[in-house]
Amino acid sequence: MMAVVLAEILAGLGLLFFGLKTMASHLQSATGRRVRRLLRSATGSPLAGLLSGIVAGAASQSSNAVALICGNLVRGGVFTTRDAIPVVAGGNVGTAALVFVAAFDFRLVVLYLLALVGFGFHVKLDRQPAWKEWIWVALGLTLALLGLDFIKQGPRDLDVALIAGALEAGLSPWAGFLIGMVAAALCQSSSTPTILVLALMQARLLGLEDAFFIVLGANLGSGLATLVSSGELEGTGRQLCYVHILVKAIGCVLLLGAWLAVALAGGDPEAVLAAAGGSGGPQTAISVLFLVLQLAGAVPVALLRGVTEKIAVHLSPPSVEDDASRPRYIHHRAVEEASTALDLSEQEGARLLKLLPNLLPDLDRGAEDYSPEARDAFWKGSTAIIHALDLFLVDVIRAGATRESLDIALQQQAQLETIRALVDTVHDFTGLVEDFESVPPLVFNLSESLRTIVLSLADAADGGAVEDFDLLIHLTADRSEMLDRIRRALAASAPGAEADSRRLMLATSLFERAVWLVRRIAVALRPPAIEDTAPEGDPARQEAPAEARLPHAGTGPRVRSAHDVHAH
Amino acid sequence: MTSMHIDREQSGNDVLLKVVGRLDTPNAKPFEASLMEVVSQTTGGIIVNLSGVDYVSSSGLRALLVAGKSMRTGKRKLALTALQPQIREVFDISGFSSLFEIT
């Protein structure tokens, strides 16, 4: 019998987790832009932030997901940690929706919902653009609710008297608190253990007092679990984890204090809790407790966001990556005015190019150079800015730009793709250079040459004149013949050194690709010289590199392998 | 810091600079300053003899690039001579060989 009960509860948990994940991912696809807009509008006041967080938490049923989205928006410069605090706090309150649903008998609703979803798939709604994400959201919701029902029905066949006796003998408030903490840490959620508590209460295995301490433990446990699961996060990302823990901890302290205060005043805290459930009974009382627990933590954290921010920043100061991933020019409020927005995005793109030398090692400086970890943080930062810039340009285009602005926006998008390719190529090249225990002369020459070229690009992007771009275009002229010669020499290297040869060949290919991408960017950015506008044959017309007047074409040199060179 | 010498000689209208030492980060600034001093004080070409240079980093290359840009603007000649093979390879890879006259 026990095996059947366990299987039902585990199957229920499996369905719940899968349903919530399916719902969250398809909801994000269906409403991603609207959710971002909702969260952006949350910057007005703590109350607006709290309400937006509640909506986002209720929709995603994951306070971690809300914290993660906020972390990305903070790193993307859409809003500050201070703006994100009420949203993260509100996300916790929103998750109470599932606990409330679990307190009611919804079996019939689930069955009808399941039928509707099934019919929806049968009539191929999942292939219609307007419906395809929503039908999956509905399936996710149905499976999550079905999972909840399994969990609630599971314990009904247990030997109630036997287990109740064991629980009565062994479950002290602290044991309950500890069980809740461990369960929440395992599930990475406070609502799942609370739903299990509701199921056990339905089977009359748990009393209100036991449930109170388990729910409190689960609440604190899920906060601490966030800290453990965010082990690799630093800076701003971790700050929001501390905000999350603060919400949970303050809620626990206040509710535990209230319980003890009632007991010390000679009252019966269990009776007070039961009264909170009204006519809904003990299960509703626990749902109300869960909601009050979230509100008790969220409201002070949101309203005193200045103090919360100080605590979070003290516990996790901003990292190099945070600073590197924050756009300096683009801002979502600028989207409405296309020409200003495009000026800002152009400046942001130029800033990316100016940051590019940070991605390459300065082999000459040795120990004084940035560490590989710092360079990796700069790369992640650049990647985050590129992503933010990409979304910004899409927003500008969607906002309804003029034909001229649209052309510029599309050109900037194409340029951004080239910058993205260059950033990634330089990052790969750096990784290869750093892998060598002792840098070979060829790699030193490639690395210092690429550094010189990238520094020249950074100079030109920083308000450089036509001559700077012409010099850069000249400097990045085709050198495939010379590099092929080097590769052929490497291919003919002594037996036993093939592995090193392969790495050296890869370094030459990445170098060649990076140089080609720099040239492409230089050609695209080169401003037209006064001489360029003079008529053909006019002595004032200075010959600009031919490519500077040609549309971009081709995909550039591909990264070659040793096999290619042998075949050649 | 490894020291670096620059000997200067006048050859007709041109100036001949003989560099001995490493063109690395610490030496790049004084090297650039010496080159720019010659660029501003003279009107002819500049020939840099690099036979005594066995190491060039990105800082050294940039110093040459700054001087090369000024000379290009003034339509003057900046030539490099007597490069050691490993230095020639850096110049070929970086594209400097096509930017300067190398003999």
A29-38, A444-453, B17-26, range with the lowest pLDDT: A29-38
Write down the pLDDT at residue A189.
80
Rounded to an integer, the average pLDDT of A322-344 is 82
Higher pLDDT, A158 or A108: A108
- Region of residue A359 (left: phi > 0; alpha: psi -120 to 50; beta: else): alpha
Of the candidates A365, A453, A471, the beta carbon closest to that of B94 is on A453
A109 CB near a chain B CB, below 8 Å? no
A188-197, A213-222, A449-458, B40-49, range with the lowest pLDDT: A188-197
Is the pLDDT assigned to residue A542 strictly greater than 60?
no
Say how many CB pairs under 8 Å bridge A and B: 70
Q: With CB atoms and an 8 Å threshold, state whether B95 touches A475.
A: yes
What token pair was written down for A185? 């840490």
Higher pLDDT, A7 or A230: A7
Write down the pLDDT at residue A327.
84
Specify which residues B80 forms β-bridges with.
B48, B102
Rounded to an integer, the average pLDDT of A29-58 is 75
Is the pLDDT assigned to residue A53 strictly greater than 90?
no
Write down the pLDDT at residue A130.
78
Interatomic CA distance for residues B24 and B59, integer angstroms:
6
Interface of chain B toward chain A, CB-CB under 8 angstroms = 24-25, 56-59, 61-62, 65, 69, 72-73, 86, 89-90, 92-96, 98-99
Residues A375-390: pLDDT tens digits? 998 998 899 899 989 9
Is the pLDDT assigned to residue A565 strictly greater than 50?
no
Percentage of residues in chain A having pLDDT higher than 70: 82
Rounded to an integer, the average pLDDT of A450-461 is 95
Q: With CB atoms and an 8 Å threshold, state whether A475 touches B69.
A: no
Per the CB < 8 A criterion, the answer to whether A353 and A293 are in contact is no
DSSP result, A318-345:
PPHHHHHTS-SS--GGGGGSHHHHHHHH
Chain A hits for B62, CB-CB cut-off 8 Å, are 452, 455-456
Higher pLDDT, A75 or A501: A501
Residues A478-488: pLDDT tens digits? 888 889 988 88
Chain B hits for A468, CB-CB cut-off 8 Å, are 69
Write down the pLDDT at residue A66.
79
Per the CB < 8 A criterion, the answer to whether B53 and A408 are in contact is no
Q: With CB atoms and an 8 Å threshold, state whether B94 touches A448.
A: yes
Is the pLDDT assigned to residue A84 strictly greater than 60?
yes
Is the pLDDT assigned to residue B83 strictly greater than 50?
yes
Per-chain mean pLDDT for chain A: 82
A448 CB near a chain B CB, below 8 Å? yes
What token pair was written down for A377? 């943080």
Chain B hits for A453, CB-CB cut-off 8 Å, are 94-95
Distance from CA of A511 to the nearest CA of B (A): 10
Is the pLDDT assigned to residue A398 strictly greater than 50?
yes
A contact residues 348-377, partner B, Cβ 8 Å cutoff: 362-365
Q: With CB atoms and an 8 Å threshold, state whether A474 touches B98.
A: yes
What token pair was written down for B33? 């300053």
Write down the pLDDT at residue A492.
78
Is the pLDDT assigned to residue B45 strictly greater than 50?
yes
Work out the pLDDT band at A232, boundaries 50, 70, 90: low
Of the candidates A363, A449, A467, the beta carbon closest to that of B94 is on A449
Distance from CA of A475 to the nearest CA of B (A): 5
> What single-letter DSSP state applies at residue A511?
H
Higher pLDDT, A554 or A67: A67
Higher pLDDT, A225 or A471: A471
Burial of A340-371, coded b for 16+ CB within 10 Å and e otherwise, reads ebbebbbebbbbbbbbbbbbbbbbbeeeeebe
Work out the pLDDT band at A65, boundaries 50, 70, 90: confident
Interatomic CA distance for residues A238 and A230, integer angstroms:
7
Residues B23-41: pLDDT tens digits? 999 999 999 999 999 999 9
Residues A266-275: pLDDT tens digits? 999 999 998 9
Residue A302's contacts (CB-CB under 8 Å, 6 or more residues apart) are A46, A47, A49, A50, A85, A86, A89, A90, A308
Interatomic CA distance for residues A199 and A192, integer angstroms:
11
Is the pLDDT assigned to residue A550 strictly greater than 50?
no
Write down the pLDDT at residue A249.
94
Residue A514's contacts (CB-CB under 8 Å, 6 or more residues apart) are A422, A425, A426, A429, A450, A453, A454
Of the candidates B89, B90, B98, the beta carbon closest to that of A477 is on B98
Could you give the C-alpha distances from A34 to A39, A67, A70, in angstroms and in order? 9, 17, 14
Distance from CA of A521 to the nearest CA of B (A): 17
List the B14-23 sheet strands across, edge first. Answer: B5-11, B14-23, B46-56, B78-81, B101-102
Write down the pLDDT at residue A476.
94
A452 → chain B, closest CA residue:
B58
Q: With CB atoms and an 8 Å threshold, state whether A474 touches B99.
A: yes
A contact residues 463-522, partner B, Cβ 8 Å cutoff: 467-468, 471, 474-477, 479, 482-483, 511, 515
Write down the pLDDT at residue A566.
47
Per the CB < 8 A criterion, the answer to whether A473 and A526 are in contact is yes
Confidence (pTM): 0.64
Compute how many other C-beta atoms are within 10 angstroms of the C-beta atom of residue A27: 21
Rounded to an integer, the average pLDDT of A19-39 is 70
A11-25, A112-126, A551-565, range with the lowest pLDDT: A551-565
Q: CA A386: distance to chain centroid?
A: 14
Residues A37-48: pLDDT tens digits? 666 666 678 888
In single-letter form, the type of residue at position A21 comes to K
Chain A hits for B59, CB-CB cut-off 8 Å, are 364
**Unique residue bearing structure tokens 């006019």:** A538
Work out the pLDDT band at A460, boundaries 50, 70, 90: very high
Per the CB < 8 A criterion, the answer to whether B57 and A364 are in contact is yes
Write down the pLDDT at residue A5.
76
Is the pLDDT assigned to residue A417 strictly greater than 80?
yes
Percentage of residues in chain A having pLDDT higher than 90: 32
Residues A502-533: pLDDT tens digits? 889 999 999 999 999 999 999 999 987 655 55
Q: Helical H runs in A61-106?
A: 63-75, 81-94, 96-103
Interatomic CA distance for residues A75 and A77, integer angstroms:
5
Work out the pLDDT band at A344, boundaries 50, 70, 90: very high
Rounded to an integer, the average pLDDT of A385-408 is 87
Burial of A179-194, coded b for 16+ CB within 10 Å and e otherwise, reads bbbebbbebbbbbbbb
Chain A hits for B72, CB-CB cut-off 8 Å, are 467, 471
Which of B93, B96, B98 best probes binding to A when mutated, by most A CB atoms within 10 angstroms? B93
Rounded to an integer, the average pLDDT of B89-93 is 93
Interatomic CA distance for residues A115 and A112, integer angstroms:
5
Q: Helical H runs in A208-337?
A: 208-229, 235-264, 269-276, 281-303, 305-315, 320-324
Rounded to an integer, the average pLDDT of A245-258 is 94
Rounded to an integer, the average pLDDT of A206-225 is 90
Specify which residues B7 forms β-bridges with.
B18
Write down the pLDDT at residue A36.
64
Would you tell me the crossing angle of helices A372-398 and A403-435 to the nearest 10 degrees? 160
Write down the pLDDT at residue A418.
97
Of the candidates B24, B25, B65, the beta carbon closest to that of A456 is on B65
A456 → chain B, closest CA residue:
B62
Write down the pLDDT at residue A530.
57
Per the CB < 8 A criterion, the answer to whether A446 and B93 are in contact is yes
Q: What is the ipTM of this complex?
A: 0.94
Taking the CA atoms of residue A177, residue A183, residue A184 and residue A186 in that order, the dihedral angle to the nearest 10 degrees is: 150
Per the CB < 8 A criterion, the answer to whether A103 and A284 are in contact is yes
Backbone angles phi, psi at A45, to 5 degrees: -150, 160
Q: Helical H runs in A436-552?
A: 441-461, 466-475, 480-491, 498-525
Angle in degrees, CA B68, B69, B71, rounded to 5: 65
Write down the pLDDT at residue A288.
92
Interatomic CA distance for residues A551 and A396, integer angstroms:
24
Interatomic CA distance for residues A524 and A552, integer angstroms:
8
Write down the pLDDT at residue A19.
82
Per the CB < 8 A criterion, the answer to whether A20 and A140 are in contact is yes
- Region of residue A301 (left: phi > 0; alpha: psi -120 to 50; beta: else): alpha
Distance from CA of A448 to the nearest CA of B (A): 5
Interatomic CA distance for residues A266 and A260, integer angstroms:
10
Interatomic CA distance for residues A348 and A350, integer angstroms:
5
Per the CB < 8 A criterion, the answer to whether B94 and B64 are in contact is no
Interatomic CA distance for residues A184 and A221, integer angstroms:
5
